[in-house]
């Protein structure tokens, strides 16, 4: 499998540290609000990556943090704690807010068939770990205390900007929005590992530490939670592209300084979901949620298909028109599969199965080309192979695509059966069906007078017949 690695800016063959096993870390949500569908684009594409690795035979261990403390409204260690801001907005405690939005996040994930990672760790449950690593960084001379806070000293590194070509001037106050001068910092790029004295006196969650009562910075949590559960060498670290700098840059700085060796091999960054008016953001402006899409009648899985139809390394523009297209495509897929389920299955053709599976894997092996993988699914539906082979392939591919295709098709067939049963149980509906059949025969016999008579007789009973290309339908008055 070839994956684009943001660290080397090339597509590289994916080789894990330990044969057959993959350790994978994902930056989890900051739980001060609902996740928007942009956040969920990242989690959908990361879920496909995880599922494909498992599909390819790897034993995957995936860990995710929940940011319930320390993520400030500005990336430059200034501004308010996002959690505290959320709590004030809703007049709740920070922990109440965290619990509510963590649950809401996993509800959304469930609706989108996003698997819950093997380990989910809220930052507030790992404080001892953060303190231990910060102590280590101080001992090794990579961190310093100033004005009560503990900072990471970026000047101690050979290379700090690992992902992009940021220059120190880019961090000049006034150049980046929301950056305020922090005179405690030795270098502009330094960042806080632990806050004790800060302007946020109303910080609700604080812990004892060797440096006084305080709370952790945002970046340290991901390094520590990853190292705690996945050890000193990580195979893949995921997140949205906005996290590459400063969050992931700082994670690499502190983890490698602490460990004394390379930490993570592959950096998998999902590009943004935008609207026509710009990036969708949780902390500013209006944003779209899964519940909102549901309230407008969309099955959340149509949003998943919408995401799969584009490459994760391209930014994606959301519009209802585009979502409508995905909804139509999803409905058509399910209808075609439902029809297949009703056909006589025939034998499984092993050779055809292997050939189609190879095409599907080839798409995903090439830096997770999910849109080509979806095309491979359409190719299965079009192919001249037995329904048994098609259904087996669809089930197999859906282990990765996560579109619940077989289940949705079964539900569709079941609804049709129930509707048919309802008709046969109701004498009035049965009568209508019988008359429609009689009228069909009359038209076949060119006995249009009888056909009209039947139509009129039904109309007198409040039943209007509508002839459509799919046959005659009816509407009952009232
Ligand atoms: P947050 O809850 O804000 O910490 O973000 C959770 C995840 O969503 C992170 O991996 C972000 O990089 C990612 N993310 C944020 N905004 C977007 C967006 N508009 N499109 C895709 N991913 C995003
Ligand atoms: Zn993170």
CA of 38 to the centre of ligand 1 (A): 6
Read off the pLDDT of residues 14-51 as tens digits, 9 standing for 90 and up. 999 999 999 999 999 999 999 999 999 999 999 999 99
Is the peptide bond between 372 and the residue preceding it cis, with omega within 30 degrees of 0? no
Ligand nearest to the CA of 244: 1
Residues with CB under 5 A from ligand 2 (ion): 27, 222
State the DSSP code for 110.
H
Read off the pLDDT of residues 72-105 as tens digits, 9 standing for 90 and up. 777 667 777 888 888 888 899 889 999 999 999 9
Atom of ligand 1 nearest to the CA of 31: 2
CA of 460 to the centre of ligand 2 (A): 68
Of 107-111, 195-199, 210-214, minimum mean pLDDT range: 195-199
- Angle at 268 (CA atoms; ends 264, 271), nearest 5 degrees: 150
CA of 222 to the centre of ligand 2 (A): 5
pLDDT averaged over the chain? 92
Determine the average pLDDT of the residues in 435-439: 95
Q: Which residues line ligand 1 (CB under 6 A)?
A: 27, 29-30, 38-39, 41-42, 67, 239-240, 242-243, 270, 272-273, 279-280, 282
In the numeric block, which tokens belong to residue 350?
């092993």
Atom of ligand 1 nearest to the CA of 71: 4
> E strands, 198-352, where?
215-216, 234-240, 264-270, 273-275, 278-279, 316-317
Q: Note whether 363 and 373 are within 8 A (CB).
A: yes
- Angle at 136 (CA atoms; ends 132, 140), nearest 5 degrees: 170
Q: Above 50 in pLDDT, residue 385?
A: yes
In the numeric block, which tokens belong to residue 458?
């039904």
CA of 42 to the centre of ligand 1 (A): 7
Choice from 242, 268, 279 to test ligand 1 binding pocket (greatest atom count within 8 A of CB): 242
Q: Higher-confidence residue: 406 or 79?
A: 406
In the numeric block, which tokens belong to residue 364?
């995903």
Binned at pLDDT 50, 70 and 90, residue 357 comes out as very high
Percentage, residues of the chain above pLDDT 90: 77
Longest dimension (CA), the chain: 99
Atom 12 (ligand 1) nearest CA: 240
The pLDDT score that the predictor gives to residue 75 is 65
> d(Cα 476, Cα 478) in Å, to the nearest integer?
7
Percentage, residues of the chain above pLDDT 70: 94
CA of 266 to the centre of ligand 2 (A): 14
Atom 2 (ligand 1) nearest CA: 29
Atom of ligand 1 nearest to the CA of 279: 19
Determine the average pLDDT of the residues in 183-200: 84
pTM of the entire predicted model: 0.88
Ligand nearest to the CA of 283: 1
């Amino acid at each position: 499998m070839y994956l684009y690695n943001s660290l080397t800016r090339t597509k590289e063959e994916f080789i894990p540290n330990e044969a057959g096993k993959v350790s994978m870390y994902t930056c989890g949500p900051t739980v001060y609000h609902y996740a928007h569908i942009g956040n969920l684009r990242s989690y959908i594409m990361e879920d496909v990556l995880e599922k494909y690795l498992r599909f390819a035979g790897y034993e995957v261990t995936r860990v995710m943090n929940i940011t319930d403390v320390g993520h400030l409204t500005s990336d430059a260690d200034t501004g308010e704690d996002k959690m505290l801001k959320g709590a004030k907005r809703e007049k709740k405690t920070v922990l109440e807010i965290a619990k509510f939005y963590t649950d809401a996040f996993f509800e959304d994930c469930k609706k989108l068939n996003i698997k819950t990672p093997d380990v989910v760790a809220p930052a507030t449950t790992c404080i001892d770990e953060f303190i231990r690593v910060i102590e280590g960084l101080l001992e090794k001379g990579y961190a310093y205390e100033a004005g009560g806070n503990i900072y990471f000293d970026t000047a101690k590194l050979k290379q700090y900007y690992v992902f992009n070509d940021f220059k120190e001037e880019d961090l000049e106050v006034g150049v980046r929005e929301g950056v305020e001068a922090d005179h405690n910092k030795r270098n502009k790029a330094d960042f806080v590992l632990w806050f004790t004295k800060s302007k946020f006196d109303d910080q609700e969650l604080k812990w004892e530490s060797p440096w006084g009562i305080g709370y952790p910075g945002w970046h340290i949590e991901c390094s520590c939670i990853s190292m705690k559960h996945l050890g000193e060498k990580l195979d893949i670290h995921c997140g949205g592209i906005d996290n590459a700098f400063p969050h992931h840059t700082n994670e690499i700085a502190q983890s490698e300084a602490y460990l004394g060796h390379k930490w993570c091999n592959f950096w998998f960054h999902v590009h943004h979901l935008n609207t026509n008016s710009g990036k969708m953001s949780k902390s500013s402006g209006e944003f779209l949620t899964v519940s909102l899409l549901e309230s407008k009648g969309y099955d959340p899985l149509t949003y998943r298909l919408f995401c799969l139809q584009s490459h994760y390394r391209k930014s994606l523009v959301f519009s209802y028109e585009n979502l409508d297209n995905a909804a139509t495509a999803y409905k058509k897929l399910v209808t075609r599969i439902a029809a297949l389920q009703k056909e006589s299955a025939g034998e499984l053709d092993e050779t055809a199965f292997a050939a189609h599976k190879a095409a599907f894997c080839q798409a995903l092996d090439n830096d997770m080309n999910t849109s080509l993988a979806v095309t491979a699914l359409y190719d299965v539906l079009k192919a001249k192979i037995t329904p048994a082979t098609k259904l087996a392939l669809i089930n197999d591919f859906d282990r990765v695509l996560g579109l619940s295709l077989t289940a949705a098709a079964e539900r569709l067939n079941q609804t049709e059966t129930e509707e048919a049963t309802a008709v046969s149980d109701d004498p009035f509906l049965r009568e209508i069906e019988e008359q429609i059949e009689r009228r069909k025969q009359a038209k076949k016999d060119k006995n249009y007078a009888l056909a009209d008579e039947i139509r009129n007789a039904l109309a007198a009973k409040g039943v209007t017949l509508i002839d459509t290309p799919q046959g005659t339908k009816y509407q009952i008055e009232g």
